[in-house]
């Protein structure tokens, strides 16, 4: 079956109750940019890079409040400890494959050191997430270069975000089907603050696929313990709500609940991480002030954001599956795309699609 370009919502599939932003993408959060480099070369290279930039300034000099939540730690995420300790992000976020984390980290250091006003910088906490695409990609060849990472950063833009077999999702597998990059957003009503929450995911994990609560994996005969569907998921959540690192960690935990809604089980061999960032304010690297002054949202007002993160992450994961296409890669391994038309019929029977 030829892959349709339609997203799940085009079939009348609904995820939760909150409205999406105009693009239904992480770039609905104002100022956020995404850049992707895709490597599909010969018969065995199926990998790439996805870069997420919270703002268009110097990320090192104007740091963003941030937090990282570890759902299951079988992963190679770089930069965790400083974000955990200081609660700030000082580089763009890079997603790639497992064995390319050092290369991506090196590229982020290059990028940071060469920026104007960073001439005296001697420490860079590069944040790089990964999943293992070694079934479809010649991962041992380590084909990602520093230039690929720099290109992804420099190509980053606002607007629609390409999904499926692109960037860091080029060679990934999800629930036994072709996975990839997916994104979604939620826009809170004015009465709840009017804030936007956007999610972007790199899906490469297993479990029992559920879409809009319907047990699709069981119906299709693909689910954990029936086949080896181990793997990982990187989740990036951005919001324009004024949250500090503590409440961003709480927001990240709720995004992990979005993964659970899709049937992911955070298996033993899964590296499941959520990176949460606020774009509402920045924290200067150097200042004459001895006190940082900013207004942050009260605890009593964060619950709608929690719901938004759950819904956006759930939908982003399903979006990655609908967009991904059948792919042949290393050693002639082939992973089939989700049979979208069959899935839509199952959802229609369950009253979850038009």
- The residues carrying an active-site annotation are 232, 270, 272
Tokens of residue 113, six digits: 């050191």
C-alpha–C-alpha distance, residues 37 and 112, integer Å: 19
Q: How far is CA 274 from CA 90, 108, 121, 343, in A?
A: 17, 20, 27, 28
Contact call for residues 78 and 95 (beta carbons, < 8 A):
no
Residue 99 sits at the vertex; the CA angle it makes with 36 and 238, to the nearest 5 degrees, is 40
Q: How far is CA 62 from CA 66, 144, 210, 255, 273, in A?
A: 12, 28, 40, 25, 24
Report the DSSP pairing between strands 271-278 and 232-239: parallel
Question: In the sheet that 93-97 helps form, which strands lie side by side, from edge to edge?
Answer: 33-41, 45-53, 93-97, 127-131
């Amino acid at each position: 079956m030829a892959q349709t370009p339609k997203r799940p919502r085009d079939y009348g599939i609904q995820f939760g109750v909150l409205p999406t932003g105009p693009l239904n993408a992480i770039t609905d959060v104002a100022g956020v940019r995404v850049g992707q480099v895709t490597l599909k070369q010969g018969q065995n290279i199926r990998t790439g890079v996805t870069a997420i930039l919270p703002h268009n300034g110097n990320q090192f000099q104007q740091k963003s409040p941030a937090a990282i939540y570890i759902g299951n730690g079988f992963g190679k995420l770089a930069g965790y400890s400083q974000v955990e300790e200081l609660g700030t992000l000082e580089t763009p976020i890079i997603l790639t494959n497992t064995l390319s984390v050092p290369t991506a980290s090196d590229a982020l250091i290059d990028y940071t050191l060469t920026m104007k006003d960073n001439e005296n910088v001697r420490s860079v906490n590069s944040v790089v997430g990964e999943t293992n695409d070694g079934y479809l990609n010649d991962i041992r060849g380590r084909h990602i270069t520093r230039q690929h990472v720099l290109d992804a950063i420099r190509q980053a833009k606002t607007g629609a975000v390409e999904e499926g077999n692109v960037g860091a999702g080029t060679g990934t597998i999800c629930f036994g089907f072709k996975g990839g990059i997916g994104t979604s957003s939620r826009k809170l009503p004015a009465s709840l603050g009017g804030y936007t929450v956007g999610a972007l995911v790199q899906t490469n994990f297993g479990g029992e696929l559920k879409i809009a609560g319907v047990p699709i994996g069981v119906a299709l005969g693909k689910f954990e313990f029936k086949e080896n569907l181990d793997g990982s998921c990187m989740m990036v959540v951005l919001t324009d709500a004024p949250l500090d690192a503590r409440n961003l960690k709480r927001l990240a935990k709720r995004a992990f609940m979005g993964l659970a809604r899709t049937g992911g089980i955070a298996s033993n061999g899964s590296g499941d991480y959520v990176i949460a960032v606020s774009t509402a304010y920045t924290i200067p690297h150097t200042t004459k002030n001895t006190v940082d002054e900013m207004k942050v949202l009260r605890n009593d007002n964060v619950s709608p954001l929690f719901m938004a993160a759950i819904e956006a992450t759930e939908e982003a994961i399903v979006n990655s599956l609908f967009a991904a296409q059948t792919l042949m890669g290393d050693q002639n391994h082939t992973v089939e795309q989700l049979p979208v038309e069959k899935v839509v019929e199952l959802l229609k029977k369950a009253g979850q699609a038009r």
